Amino acid sequence: MSEDRAVPERRTVRPGHPVPVSTYRVQLGADLTFDNVATRVPYYASLGVTHVYLSPVLTAAPGSTHGYDVVDHDRVSDVLGGEDGLRRLAAAAHDAGLGLVLDVVPNHMAVPTPVWHNRALWSVLTDGPDSPYAAWFDVDWSAGDGAVLMPVLGDRIGAVLAADELRLVEEDVPGVGPSTVLRYHDHVFPVRAGTEALPLAELVERQHYRLAYWKVADEELNYRRFFDVGTLVAVRVEDPDVFDATHALTLRLLRDGVVDGLRIDHPDGLADPAGYLARLREATDGAWVVVEKILAGEEELPDDWATAGTTGYEALWRVQQTFVDPGGAAQLGSVMHRLTGDVSDAFAEVEEQAKREIVDGPLYAEVHRLTNLAAAICHDDLRLRDHTWRALEDCLVELLVAFDRYRAYVVPGETVAPTSAAVLAAAGARARRRTGPEREATMDVLLDLLSGREAGSAGRTRDARRDELVVRFQQTCGAVMAKGVEDTAFYRWTHLVALCEVGGEPARFATTPTDLAAWAARAQATAPLGMTTLSTHDTKRGEDTRARLGVLSELPREWAALVEELRRASAGYRGTLLDGRTEYLLWQTLVGTWADDGPIAEDRLVEYLTKAIREAKSRTTWTAPDAAYERAVLDTARTARTDPAVLALLGDWDARTREAVRAATLGTKLVQLTLPGVADVYQGTEVPGPTLVDPDNRRPVDADALAARLARLDDGAGPRGLADEKMLVTSRALRVRRDVADAFVGPEAGFVALPHSSGHTLTYARTAAGAPRVVVVATRLAAAVERLGGWADHTVALPEGTWHDVLGDRVLPGGVRPVADVLERLPVALLVHEAT
C-alpha cells in the first residue's frame, strides 16, 4: 500500500512474526498424517507456496473426518501423529523454507460417543454446576430442572426404560478409573455419587443430565450448540480462564515457532468476537491471524476486530461472478421458471421462507430461550409487564428472519457502533412490515433491549439478563443465517447453482471488472493481509465445477436448448415424484462435474444428491427422509448418467464449451492468486478436478501425480491440456508472489487497474512503492470473444518497460499492446517487470 494509506494497526502483523505470502490448505486425517504431509513438503515448496495451512490438529472425537469436533485442547491428535509428529512436520517445512498455519476451533467442542472422550464435559455431567469445568460450557442451569439435556435416545425415555435399554454397568473410564456408569448402546454416562443404589428410573432422574429422545433437542435444549448440531456444544471462551485453558497448547506451539499463524473458525458464534480477537492478539503478540467470517453483500469487517482479515469468501464470490455474463441472467431465469416455477428475482422470498422454517424448526429451542429471557426482563419491570410472551416471540421471530447478516456486533456496556445501530434499525423496519401495528410498541422495546438502550423504568439499561439477551440474539442470528440461507435456500435456488456458495450473493447474478477492481483497492487499503480463496473444505462446489457452470451464462440460449433435449431424452424414466428444482439441479450438476473421462462417478453423484435434497428440506430431510421421493431422485440420476442419449448430449456440450471453460478456469485462478491478500490454494486445485460439497471435496489427493506433472513442466515440457495449463498458471503465480512478495504483501504493495479497450479483458498491475512490478491480463466471457471472431483490434495498456511473460516464457515491451498479442498462447498472461 502506498504511504498515504495507513492500514489500521489491528490489521497488521507485528514485527518478528512471519507473514504468509500464500498458503496450501491440507485436510488432515487418518489417511493424511503429519508425516504424510512432511513427505509432500518438497512439492509444496516447488509449487511456490510459503506456508502449509493445516486443518485442526487437536484431539477430535473418535472417527472424526475433519477435526472440528475437538475433545481435548491439551493434546495434539494421536491419529495425526501427536505433537512429535507435528514438530517433525514443522522441521521439514522450515528446512524447505516453509511455515505452518493452524486452524483453531474456539467456538465449540464435541459431545462424543462415549462422552468420556471429552474429559471436561464428562466432569460437568458427573458433578454439574460444581464441576471445575462448569464455566466452560454455555449451559442454562436454571432450565431443564438444572440438568444438561442429553438428547441421544432413539425413543422417548419411558419407552427406553420399558424396553430395558438403559443398563447400570462397571467400566474402566479413561482418566477416571473403574466407575459405575449408565450405558445406552454405545453411549456411556457418569453416575452421580450417592445415586448408584437407587431404582433405575429414580437414578436417571437424579443425574446432572437429562437423557431424552433426540427430537427433544429442537424444542427444549438448554445448552448452546454449534448452529443446530446437538453433538457440538458451545464453549465460553469469553471467560478468561476458559480462554487460557483452551488456547494454552496452541499458543505454546506459536511461541515455539512450530506454527506461524492462525485461522479462527466461526468467531461469529462467540459471545464477544471483538473481545476474543483482542485477547488473542495480545496472547500471540500480534501474529498473523485470520477469521472465517462471512460478510454479507457490502458488509465489511467490524472496525474493532483485531485480525489481518477473513479467510476470503468475499473474494471468492466476487472473482467468480466477474466471470459470469450478466446477459445470461434473463434466459437462465426463463429456464429455471419453466422447470421450477421460480422467477429470477424471487431469491429473497426463497431465503425468507427458508429462514422462517429454520426458526420454527431446528432452532426453535434457541428462539424459545430468547423469548423467555425477554419475557422475564419485561415481567420484572412494571412499565414493561404488558408486553406478553407471545408478542415478544412474534417480534423476535420476525427480527431473526429479517436480519441480513450474521450479527450486529453489539457489546453489552459499550457504545453501539453506528453501523451496528443501522443494521438493527434496518432489520427492525423489515420486521415491522410483518408484525403490523399491534406489535409496534413491543418491537420498540425489543430493539431498545437488543441495542442496550434504556427500556422500561428510568435508568435501566443493563443487568445480567439484558446482557445475555443482547449476546444470545446475535449468536442466534448467525445460526439462522447459516442454516436458513447456506444450508437450505442455497439448495433450493437453481438460477445458476454456482452462485449458491458459502458467503455467496446469488441475488447479484454477475459483477463487472470495475466492481472487482474497486473491491480490490478497498481490500488493499483496509485488510491487505486477509486471505483470498476459490475453494475450501466447506465450499458447496469446487472452483472447477463453478467455472464450468459459469459458462452457462455465456451460452444461455444453447443451454436452454440442451435442457429441453435432456428432458426429452430422459422423459421415459423421470418419475412423477421428481420435482423441477431437483431435476434442474441434476442437469447442472452433471454438466458442472463432467471431466475428461465423462460423468461423475455414481457413488459421488448419489451421495451429493442425497445430501442436497435433504438440506433443501422441501420433500425430504435428514431427520424424516421420504424414501419414495429419494428413490425417484436417485433412480433418475443413476439412469441419466449412463443413458447413451444423455451422455452424447453432455459430451457435445463439453466440446462446445471447452474454450470458454478453459478461459474461466485459468482466469479465475490467476485473478484469485494475484488479488490483494494472502492467496490460498486448496489441496488438489492446482489442476482441474470438479468437486461437490463435503465429503466429496475432502477426498484424498494424489500428490505424487501432481509433483510429477509440475516437474515435467519445470523440465521444459509444454502444456498438453487444461490440467497442465492450470498447474502452470498456479505454480508460476505462486512463485511470482514468493519472489516479488513486496508487490503482494509488503508494506508498500499496491493494486492498480490498467486501461483496456475490451470488456472481455480483466487487467491490473501489482505495484511496490508505486512502481508496477507484475501485470495480470485475463479473458472473461470467452464465448463472447469467440462469437465476435476474436480480439480484433482491442488493446491493453501495459506500463512502460520490458515485461517477461512467465507463462509463455517470452518478452513483451510496455505500452499499448494488442490483446491478441498479449494472449497469444493462453487466455491469461502473467507479466513480471524485467527490472524485477
pLDDT digits (tens, 9 = 90+) for 424-462: 999 999 999 999 899 999 999 999 999 999 999 888 889
Structure confidence at residue 231 (pLDDT): 86
pLDDT confidence tier of residue 140, bands split at 50, 70 and 90: confident
Structure confidence at residue 221 (pLDDT): 77
For 183-221, the pLDDT digits (tens) are 999 999 999 999 999 999 999 999 999 999 998 888 887
* Annotation: CATH topology of 115-234: Maltooligosyl trehalose synthase, domain 2 (3.30.1590)
Angle, alpha carbons 452-283-676 (nearest 5°): 85
- Is 465 a residue whose pLDDT tops 50? yes
- Cα separation of 8 and 527, whole Å? 8
The three grid cell numbers given for residue 171, joined into one nine-digit string: 467400566
- Cα separation of 307 and 291, whole Å? 7
Q: For residue 525, which amino acid is it? A: A
- Is 62 a residue whose pLDDT tops 80? yes
Find how far residue 142's CA is from the centre of its chain: 34
- Is 2 a residue whose pLDDT tops 70? no
Q: Which residues, including other chains, have CB under 8 Å from residue 205's CB and lie 6 or more apart?
A: none
Determine contact, residues 625/617, Cβ cutoff 8 Å: no
Closest CA to 820 of 796, 800, 788: 796
Determine contact, residues 209/134, Cβ cutoff 8 Å: no
169 three-class SS = strand
pLDDT confidence tier of residue 229, bands split at 50, 70 and 90: confident
Domain 20-107+237-293 class, CATH top level: alpha beta
The pTM of this model reads 0.95
Structure confidence at residue 7 (pLDDT): 84
Strand partners, 828: 778
Structure confidence at residue 677 (pLDDT): 97
Whether the link from the prior residue into 114 is cis, omega within 30° of 0, is yes
Structure confidence at residue 5 (pLDDT): 55
Beta pairing class for 749-753 and 761-768: antiparallel
For 715-725, the pLDDT digits (tens) are 999 999 999 99
- Is 228 a residue whose pLDDT tops 80? no
Q: What percent of the chain is predicted at pLDDT more than 90?
A: 94
- Cα separation of 612 and 696, whole Å? 12
Q: Tell me if 20-107+237-293 shares its fold with 115-234.
A: no
Residue written as cell 462467540?
Answer: 270
- Cα separation of 537 and 791, whole Å? 38
- Is 624 a residue whose pLDDT tops 50? yes
Please tell me the least confidently modeled range out of 37-41, 643-647, 832-836.
832-836
Buried b (16+ CB within 10 A) or exposed e, 409-420: bbbbeeebbeeb
Which segments of 642-698 are extended strands (E)?
678-682
DSSP 750-763: EEEE--BS-TTEEE
Structure confidence at residue 143 (pLDDT): 65
Structure confidence at residue 144 (pLDDT): 61
CA dihedral (584, 588, 591, 595) in degrees, to 10, reads: -130
Instruction: Please compute the mean of the pLDDT values over residues 736-759 and round it to a whole number.
Output: 97
Angle, alpha carbons 296-19-697 (nearest 5°): 55
Angle of helix 722-739 relative to helix 644-674, nearest 10 degrees? 10
Contacts 24+ apart (CB under 8 A), 452-455: 452/410, 452/412, 452/413, 452/414, 452/416, 455/381, 455/384
Q: Enumerate the domain spans of the chain.
A: 20-107+237-293, 115-234, 350-490
Q: For residue 392, which amino acid is it? A: L
Instruction: Please compute the mean of the pLDDT values over residues 584-602 and round it to a whole number.
Output: 97
- Cα separation of 101 and 678, whole Å? 12
Give me the chain's average pLDDT, please.
95
For 402-424, the pLDDT digits (tens) are 999 999 999 999 999 999 999 99
Strand partners, 753: 764
Please tell me the least confidently modeled range out of 55-64, 282-291, 457-466, 702-711.
457-466
Structure confidence at residue 3 (pLDDT): 37
Q: For residue 650, which amino acid is it? A: L
